[in-house]
Amino acid sequence: MDFDDTREEAAFRAEARSWLEANASPLEPGETNPGLGESDDPDTIRAAQAWQAKKADAGWACITWPEAYGGRGGSPIQSVIWGQEEGKFRVPPNVFGIGLGMAGPTLMAHGSDVQQQRWLPKMLRGEEIWCQLFSEPAAGSDLAGLRTRAERDGDDWVVNGQKIWTSGAHYCKWGILVARTDPNVPKHAGLSYFVVDMESTGVEARQIRQISGGANFNEVFFTDARIPDANRISEVGNGWAVAITTLMNERASIGSGGIGGGGGVKDLIALAREVRDERGPLLENAGIRERIADYYVRTKGLQFTSYRTLTALSRGQTPGPEGSIGKLVAAKMRQDMASLALELQGLAGGTLDPSLAVQDAAWQEAYLWAPGMRIAGGTDEILRNIIAERVLRLPPEPRVDKELAFRDVPTGSQG
């Protein structure tokens, strides 16, 4: 057991580094790259696309993807090494996460050759950005309860309904969509999976403002929107299995460092060292030291857990649902760390004003962003259910909705 790069890994790291040095500038000490949070202005997106294309030209865009789609055909470890090195340079935010992290792997697992050839190369180059049209007003945790209808009409499917919380829909070209193709069978059996052109007639995205003030997610309305049958992924009625592939990839990617906003334990220590109250310098306070220690223990626990996952990957094993640990721990911890960081600042913790807010108000923003991270991509409770039922194999909850025909499932007042 060791953390050293093997000779090949060291060579790969050196190669990555020299390309990055030639093509980007290193971050200054203390400087961080902007998070994905509210970075949806057109200039940022264009900059992100330009950077992605540059990486693609040099073979750095998707380390683990097959060369046939423009990837490098590399190993998961190489992908991590690349991520570590790229993270030391000033680069635009990665607005391609839903495509590269979720839709891409799903298409590779379930799409036809033609579909893969059509979508993957442009996705990889960042030419076409993707969004995820899963959640609906009455179907989030209970995704399989979704109602957006897709009905067959010749070579097309006609789609009606509403999606919600679709991050980035207002600037995306393609969306992965799960829709109900048969309401007369039990809920999981009546779903199908499609790729939808966000620019087609009958698809309308409206931005929704989130609590932090930005408007990164959307409601998306479908009114007789037509999707060619050629854009269906896998068989009719197999949408749930395909969606699960997407969700497993989503949780893995959010858990491994996707929790934006605010700094780490180091920044917390820097802050506590700087401030004092009537009790003296706050870093000397036992209660505060204990809380910081707790966060550090958990942070390192997560990091080393991800190394174990990585080791499994590099031995050719697939990581299982234990990937759910990452987001479950990280999202709530981010909320608690931000809360402490505000307390360390005293009443000044209550202001976002640049003239007073320490560390560029990153912790205030983190306090307003963390609640979303506890909800997005599976809430804390859903992740606990996954750990309990799929990892620990505990008996499932009795289900009232699983065997009934979808149209007969109780919906309360939302019906």
Partner 1 sequence: MNFDFDEDQRLLQKTARDFLEQRAPLSRVREIFESDALLDADLWSGVAEMGWTGAAIPESHGGAGFGYLELALLAEETGRALAPIPFGSSVYLVTEALRLAGSDEQQRRWLPELAAGRRIGAFAAAEGPGGHVAAEPGVEWRDGALHGAKEPVLDGAAANLALVLARDPSGGRVLVLADLQANGAKNEPLESLDPSRPLARLVFEGTRAERLQGDGAALLARLEDRAAILFAFEQLGGAQRCLEEAIAFARSRYAFGRPIASFQAVKHQLADLYTAVELARSNCYYGAWALHAQSDELPAAACLARISATEAFEACSQESLHLHGGVGFTWEYDCHLFLRRSKLLSLALGSTGRWKDRLVALLDEAA
Ligand X SMILES: Cc1cc2nc3c(=O)[nH]c(=O)nc-3n(C[C@H](O)[C@H](O)[C@H](O)COP(=O)(O)OP(=O)(O)OC[C@H]3O[C@@H](n4cnc5c(N)ncnc54)[C@H](O)[C@@H]3O)c2cc1C
Cβ closest to ligand X, residue 102 vs residue 282: 102
Stretch that binds partner 1, among 55-63, 82-90, 240-248, 270-278 (CB under 8 A): 270-278
Selected binder of partner 1 within 19, 147, 345, 362 (CB under 8 A):
345
Query: Under rule CB under 6 A, which residues in 339-398 are in contact with ligand X?
Result: 372, 375-379, 381-382, 385
* Catalytic residue (choose from 38, 128, 250, 365): 250
Selected binder of partner 1 within 21, 67, 127, 277 (CB under 8 A):
277
Of 378, 362, 261, nearest to 326 by C-alpha is: 378
Distance CA 283, CA 274 (A): 8
Backbone angles phi, psi at 238, to 5 degrees: -105, 15
Distance CA 47, CA 91 (A): 9
Q: How far is the CB of 216 from ligand X (least distance, A)?
A: 7
Question: Is 128 one of the annotated active-site residues of the chain?
Answer: no
Distance CA 240, CA 186 (A): 12
Task: Name the pairing type of β-strands 174-180 and 130-133.
Answer: parallel
* Total residues in contact with ligand X, by rule CB under 6 A: 19
Selected binder of ligand X within 60, 82, 134, 157 (CB under 6 A):
134
Of 290, 253, 330, nearest to 80 by C-alpha is: 253
306 binds partner 1 (CB under 8 A): no
Distances (CA, A) of 297 to 265, 290, 347, 383: 10, 11, 28, 21
User: Binding string to partner 1 for residues 128 to 147, with x set by CB under 8 A, is what?
Assistant: -------x--xxxxx--x--
Q: What is the DSSP string of 23-45?
A: HSPBPPTT-----STT--SHHHH
Of 72, 97, 73, 75, nearest to 19 by C-alpha is: 72
* Total residues in contact with partner 1, by rule CB under 8 A: 65
392 binds partner 1 (CB under 8 A): no
Query: Under rule CB under 6 A, which residues in 73-132 are in contact with ligand X?
Result: 131-132
Three-class HEC string of 136-186: ECCECCCHHHCCCEEEEECCEEEEEEEEECCCCHHHCCEEEEEEECCCCCE
Q: How far is the CB of 48 from ligand X (least distance, A)?
A: 17
216 binds partner 1 (CB under 8 A): no
381 binds partner 1 (CB under 8 A): yes
Selected binder of partner 1 within 36, 120, 150, 342 (CB under 8 A):
342
Cβ closest to ligand X, residue 323 vs residue 377: 377
Selected binder of ligand X within 35, 92, 105, 140 (CB under 6 A):
140
Distance CA 333, CA 340 (A): 10
Of 35, 34, 36, 16, nearest to 24 by C-alpha is: 16
Catalytically active residues, by annotation: 250
* Site for partner 1, rule CB under 8 A: 135, 138-142, 145, 164-165, 208-211, 213, 274-280, 282, 285, 287-288, 335, 339, 342-353, 355-356, 358, 364, 367-368, 371-372, 374-375, 379-381, 384-385, 397, 399-401, 404, 409-414
